[in-house]
Structure 1
Amino acid sequence: REVSKDLAAANGQIRNSSHEVMEGAVRQSQALEESSKAIEGIDEAAGGIAESTGNLVTAAEESSSATLELGATIEEIASQMEKLFGTVDEVSSSINEMSVASQEVAENVGILSSSTEVTVSSMLEMDASIKEIEGNAVETSKLASEAAEDAQRGMQTVEETIRGIESIRQTVDRASEAIMDLGDQSSAIGKILTVIDEVADQTSLLALNAAIIAAQAGEHGKGFAVVADEIRELAERTAVSTREIGTIITNLQEGTQEAVVAMKAGSEQVHLEVKRSKGSNVALEKIRSSTLKAMDQVNGIVRATEEQSRGSRQVTDSMNQVASMLEQIASAINQQTSGARQLAEGAESMRDIAAHGKQSTGEQAKGSRQINESMEQIRSMISLIDDSTRALTQRSRDVVDAVGSVHKVAEDNASRTAELDHVVETLTRLTAALEEEVGVFKI
């Protein structure tokens, strides 16, 4: 700007001295020399200004691009902050829900822990009951085995009894046959006794006849009478004996008949007892078979209770592990609940920070847009300054060329003062324009 002022002063001097050119050609030449130097300085300054304005335009364009990128970045940050605020709000809601869920889970874990304790207690009681059942089943298996052995021995005893009864039956049958034979023989003896009785009767009649005859014979018949008496007595005794034997035979026959009836009844009873014994044997066989089946079932129960006992112990161990794990889970959930509360507090703080950041980025984005607008205005103004500076440089060069021409013409011909005045006027306008343009650049 100082150079512009000097140039304006020089132009004024040139304009004042142009009227005296004819009088002081030497002074005009010197003044033109000085003006030429001053204009060359202006030209150099204008060249520097043009270079500076070119750099300034480049910097302004870069700054404008950077501010645009910064604005886009700020807009992106604002958008991300908007999303972040929404996400933080969702996270805060989720954390609150998680906190409520953690409390519910903690309550459910407490209930489950109580149920697990009851289950463990019940499993212990059931394990004790299973052990008792197992002991009873083992004892029952032993008793069933003993019962099977007793049934086997009973079967053997019954079989021996059956064989004994069968032997008795055979003996009874033989005795019955013998008694029946005895009855038959008694009947034969009865017949013989009848004959003897008849003989005795006849003998008695003969003895009676002999006695009658002996009595008729007199003395001679005494010996025969004695014999007849003896025969009579013998016949009487024979008759008595025969009657006694008949009575005995009759009694024997009656006893034989009764014995036969009794033997038949005994034989039938023996047959019945044999059937009953065989039925008992079948029953004992069924008892033994059922006992063996029961023993197998009891052994199966023993095996099942052993497996159940092992399973019960495993379940008890598992429930104890579950109880331990529930304690760990309860502890972890308590820590999680505490952490959830801290997270909720942190999320609330983060939400406030995000809201503040959202507001700040919004204001920053607004300011960035204003900066972009200002930078665009500055870039436009700098472009205008660059264009003006380039024009000023070209004009300055034109002035330098014109001053050179004037200086040459002034040396050669003073008559060209009018042309010099014209050049001075042109230089004055150019200087004014340069001062105006430089003034704009300073602003």
Structure 2
Amino acid sequence: MRDKKIQGDSRWLLWKLALSFSFIGSFPVLIAGVWIIQDARTHIAKSTLEVTRLMTQSMDAMRESLTGITQYGINELSSTLLDINRKMPDKAREQLEGVYKSFFEASERELEGLDLSEEARRVLKGRLEKIKGDLIGLSQATYADMTSEMRAAIENNKQVVAGSILSAEEGTKAVTVAAKSEMDKAVAEASRQIWTDVGVTIALVIVFAVTLGIIMARRIANPIKALADTARRIAEGDLTLSVERRSRGELGILEAAFKEMLLYLKKIAELVEKISRGDLTGQIEPRSDRDALGKSLKEMSFYLREMAVLATNISAGHLREEVVPRSDQDGLGKAFSDVVQYLRSIALTAARIAKGDLVREVQLGSKEDVLGEALREMILGLRSLISGIRTGAQQMSEDARSQAVAVQGISDSIRQMAHNVQAIAQRTEAQSVSIEETSSSVEEMAMTAREISESVGSFSMSMEKTTESVLKIIEAIQDIEIHVNTLVMVSREAGTDAEKGTEAVMRTLEGITQIKQAVEDTARVIKRLSDKSERIGEIVNLIDGIADQTNLLALNATIIAAQAGEHGRGFAVVADEIKGLAERTMKSTREIGDLIRSIQMESGEAVKLMKMSSESVVSGVTLSMEAEQALGKILKSVQKSEGMVYQIAEATREQGKSAEHVKKAIEEIRKMLDQILRAIDEQSKGSKQIRSAVGDIRDLSHEINSSMEVQATGLSQIAASMQEINQLVQRNSEQARRLLQSVDRFILEG
């Protein structure tokens, strides 16, 4: 429509020029020339106004294009920032999920290696899956919350940029209004100048009126048409054309202005295109102080560069930079400032946790503050964990002290048992010596009995020859007196030896009774030791369970510290220390468990040995009682023999006083000799029994000595084991003390 109007105006101008040729050579030519000039100037003014209108429309179109391009650039920047924000959590999420996967695979392998029932294994697997889901959901919720905050900040940035574009539009409108006002003033001034110059120009343009009119019409109409076409293409957004200055004067100035405007618009379009691609390195300088569009674009480019650098620093973990909003309407600056303040508060909370401060509560930014809620739950979990560890360590320390007291009591009992066993061994050795002496006495008594038997035989032969000679009888009586005296001495010695044997057997019986009592006491002590070992085993299982739970909680704390990143390193060190301490505690409890099982096995062996010793002691008591009975019989026989010997002595004395009673005496002596032979025979039998009993007692003494040696060896091993247990208890006490020191660095109450 505008092109048709311009073409119509041009044809109308040419028609009026052609009409003026019909009046050449007459006075009306002057009037026509003046009218043509005036009409030409009027058309110039109209064309200028049309060009101004087209420029205004072009500026409006350019503004709309700039708004669209800028909006497109902001959208691209927003999508780029969101992509950066999305990729960063994706990468962190992938790393965290990799850590989760490795941890839970290792946990499942450890679970498969445990000797558990199917139900327990299924429950543990379910708990592991639940913990895995909770951790992944927590990390996703945290990153989703940060992403939503970043999107809100970008929306605020869009509003700020829209405000900047609105300001640029207002500046453009102001420039357009000012240009139009100046153009109106120029047209009015040109109209006044026409009437002023009419008188002067009449004389000059009369001759060349027609020619000058045609030439001016062509020179003015063609450039104006070209400028109108250029303005139309600029209004359509085509900035690929070029404008060359071909005229002079006002048209030349207008063409130069069009050329500069086109170059300026091309530069602005290039900058906006770079911004739309995410390239913020481009710069533009305002043409003048009144270049509102250039100033707005420069400030927008600088502001976006600042925001991009700040976003990069935040993604790298630099939180020391201050973010100051440009104005109250700077939504993007406020959003970045809020994000930095929030991350600083989270970092400060993590630093306090790393230093052991668990007293302060986490202030939530809003109801949807997932990261703050996670930190609060982590602090609550750490408080519970540290309290449990502290209570367990204190209980461990108290149990260690109780174990030390119990072990000391057991060690004292074992030392007393060893002393008793040594005393029993010494008594048994003395008893063996007494038994050997008794055996020697019995042998001597047997030899004496044999001698008596031989003497009695000789005496019988002498008695047969008594009738031959009294002298021989007297000599025989003297021999009998000698032998009787010897027999008296032997009888007394036999009685004394029998009494000593009886006393030795009684002492042996008492010693065996003491051995039996000591064996029973030892069995009871070993039974108490076994019971205490079972109690220690229960305590060790409790400590093992606490260490296992501590290890699992340390793993959870390590995962949360890994999620916190740089700010969770200090806490990760504490979690690793707790985990190492738990592993050392589990190792120590396993060693204690092995030692306790070894002690229980040795205690069982000791109980068996004690039972065997008790049976041997009972057998020894029985044999000692039999030996006592045999010695009693021997003592009675000896006493009886001693009486007979006294009777023989009395008879011999009576026989020496009177020879008349020789035959009677001989008969009585024969009777007595028969009795003596019978007594000697009984004494031989008793001596054999005594020798057999003494041999049994000797064997029993050797068995008792062997049992005492075995008991002494077992007690030595038990004492060594108790010493190792005491050392392990001391190490557990030291580990509990170190665990308390490690836990005391955490402050749980204000």
TM-score when normalising by structure 1 = 0.48
Q: Which has the higher helix share?
A: 1
**TM-score, reference length from structure 2:** 0.30
Name which one, 1 or 2, has greater alpha-carbon Rg: 1
